[in-house]
Structure 1
Amino acid sequence: MTGSTKSSRTIDGNVTPWWVRYFDPSDRALAVLLLAPAAVLLAMIIVYPVCRLIYTSFFNLSLTSGLPAEFVGFENFQFMLEDPVFWQTTGNTVLITFVTVPGALVVGLALALMANLPFRRQWPVRLSLLIPWALPLSFAGLIFAWFFHSEYGVVNDVLGRFGVEPIIWFNSPQWAMAAICLTIIWKTSSFMALIILAGLQTIPRSLYEAADVDGAGRIRQFFEITLPLLKPSIVVALIFRTITALQTFDIPYMMTNGGPGTSTATLAMYIHQNTVSFLDLGYGSALAVVMFALSMCVTAVYLRMIRTKG
């Protein structure tokens, strides 16, 4: 009671009118007012669709059957556990994630270090990092589908000049997956490089100068100065790259369409097939819920790493 009385009085002891307090809110009230539009927008474009997706996953809803939606509980998820295509596409998605995320990190780190060198004109090097990132994913998939073509592709032409027999890339599950992973690494390494380059710009130059005075070489400076100070930027890049890797769709779809068979199909492609091609919204929603849960688990692990390091 005392605190509320004090907060409603001015310096000379007079009671502040309610309309003055309304137009001069406290810091907490002002923060709520400013964040309210963003919170409402996020609720409309994120919270509601996710809740609707989870709700639909408990129904048998197929637009081709002509029957009304029927509540089936966890039947879609039980069928998922017995679905071999689900396990294969999930395994392909996990494989792509485990191969392309570290690969993009290593290539992106090398590109960022190169772009951070004291060139006389750095803008052409840094501009070149934007080109792979700016290309649409489907366009990159089409380009590399031509690169890896067995008859007139650039890759087989280069291998033939070194005496290597041409490889029929898209007839073999292993070679097709390798081509997809290489394409994804090329496409996403520039994104990693841009984030890491931003982190490199924040490292004080005085630290390297002090290390030079102490006699530390370039390799020791890299492992004792550069990498430790780049950890926040690397973790942020890994969060975004891992989530997008779990949702991989465009490049495998444009390069192989999941073939041969379903050996290179991803979970996102299987969701697209069930919802768009087969119009089975119930089962497709259940698959999407699993993908959403995987993304949230990965994000939680990375955030826990950041909190532990902090």
Structure 2
Amino acid sequence: MILPAFLLLFAVVLFPIGRLLVTSTQQLRLTEPWLGTPFIGLAHYQKALADPRFWETTLNTFIYIAVTVPGAIVVGLGLALLANQPFKVKWPVRLGLLLPWALPLVFAGLIFRWFFEFNQGIVNNILMWVGLPKLAWLTDPFLATIAICIAIIWKTSSFVALILLAGLQTIPKSLYEAAEIDGASKWQQFIEITLPMLRPAIIVAAIFRTITAIQTFDIPYAMTNGGPGNSTETLAMYIHKTTIDFLDLGYGSALAVLMFVVSLVMTAGYLRYTRRDPRQEA
């Protein structure tokens, strides 16, 4: 009975992963087809570990993870709490949560590229309006990273908010009513009831957000194309350039395997944390 599901899983997931692993151990360059696909073992992985650009793009990726994952969860939690208020008409608020999530990533990147453009961007116009000088948001490495993080948080916080909103709606109202009777303030209710009950939803949102953050590509590509220099280039962008621009499928596959391993390790860390007994932590 499970054979059709297993075959589908094999065709969609297991076979591509296996093919990726095989390709990562081969010398496969489309610019040199006469060399064939000789087996070279772990040479590509050794090359990656000695590749400064690999470490630079990996560091950039981890910066995006460290900034945008907590940022999206904090902003998403605020949006979820707002959407969970007892509005008489709730659908406009929840539709507002859906719009950023439904917007294509490249479009979001292009919109924020316009926002942070030096001469015509809204952000610099606001700075000039309050008497501050214009900033080179997209040509300064530090400012470009900030601009990209803002764009990613705006784009992804709505998805986090939808997950947390579903978690908020499962919390029994009787818990808040009992807390009010005991004299608990709104902040105490949030700390002692809302956050502990939302823990599973927060973990799920963090897992999804971390995996997508590891694969960050579209928004930095649309805003800066990895520039200035390689200061905002992510590991996914480096894989794209290696395979599509340089046509080095073997090395690009090895880089993709390394990114896959990072995703597995971070996801396993989240899952291990969720299995911890809160009573033992106390």
**Residue 271 of structure 1, CA deviation:** 0.3
Consecutive aligned runs of 4 or more in structure 1 exceeding 6 Å deviation: none
Q: Deviations over 1:101-147 (max 9, x none)?
A: 00000000000001101112121111100010000001100110011
How far residue 297 of structure 1 moved from its aligned partner, in angstroms, is 0.5
Is 1:41 equivalent to 2:8 in the alignment? yes
SS in 2 for 1:308: coil
Give the residue type in structure 2 aligned to 1:259. Answer: G
**Secondary structure class of the residue paired with 2:230:** coil
Shift, 1:60, TM fit: 0.9
Q: 2:102 aligns with which of 112, 129, 134?
A: 134
Please name the residue that 2:251 is paired with.
Answer: 283
Give the equivalent residue in structure 1 for 2:26.
59
Residue deviations 1:80-100 (CA, integer Å, cap 9, x gap):
111111010000000000000
Give secondary structure in 1 for the equivalent of 2:138.
Answer: helix
Q: State the 1:158 CA deviation.
A: 1.1
**Aligned pair 1:206/2:174, yes or no?**
yes
Partner of 1:255: 223
Map 1:1-310 → 2, pairs under 5 A: 33=1, 35-66=2-33, 67-309=35-277
TM-score (norm 2): 0.97
CA–CA separation in structure 2 for the residues paired with 1:51 and 1:307: 29
Greater alpha carbon shift after TM alignment, 281-290 vs 67-76: 67-76
Tell me the alpha carbon deviations over residues 42-82 of structure 1, each in whole angstroms, 9 at most, x when there is no partner.
Answer: 11110000011011111111010122011111111111111
Per-residue displacement from partner, 1:2-39 (whole Å, max 9, x unpaired)? xxxxxxxxxxxxxxxxxxxxxxxxxxxxxxx1x33222
1:268-287, CA deviations, whole angstroms, 9 ceiling, x for partnerless residues?
00000011111100000000
CA–CA distance in structure 2, aligned partners of residues 36 and 152 of structure 1? 58
Q: TM-score, normalized by length of structure 1?
A: 0.88
How many aligned residue pairs are there? 277
Q: Quote the offset at 1:309 in angstroms.
A: 3.8
User: What amino acid is aligned across from residue 42 of structure 1 in structure 2?
Assistant: L
In the alignment, residue 162 of structure 2 is paired with which amino acid?
A: L
Q: Which runs of 5+ in 1 are unaligned?
A: 1-32
Higher relative CO (Cα under 8 Å, sequence separation at least 6) belongs to 2
Q: Which amino acid aligns with 1:180?
A: I
CA distance in 2, matches of 1:309, 1:94: 28
CA distance in 1, matches of 2:247, 2:192: 54
Counterpart CA distance in 2 for 1:309 and 1:157 is 51
CA distance in 1: counterparts of 2:210 and 2:121, whole angstroms: 30
Aligned partners of 1:159 and 1:126: how far apart in 2?
Answer: 32
Largest Rg, 1 or 2: 1
| Residues in 2 aligned to 1:309 and 1:246: alpha-carbon distance in whole angstroms | 28
Matched residue SS, 1:171: coil
Q: Which amino acid aligns with 2:4?
A: P
Partner amino acid, structure 2, of 1:265: E
Q: Quick one: distance in 1 between partners of 2:108 and 2:53?
A: 26
Cα distance, 1:167 vs structure 2: 0.5
SS in 1 for 2:131: coil
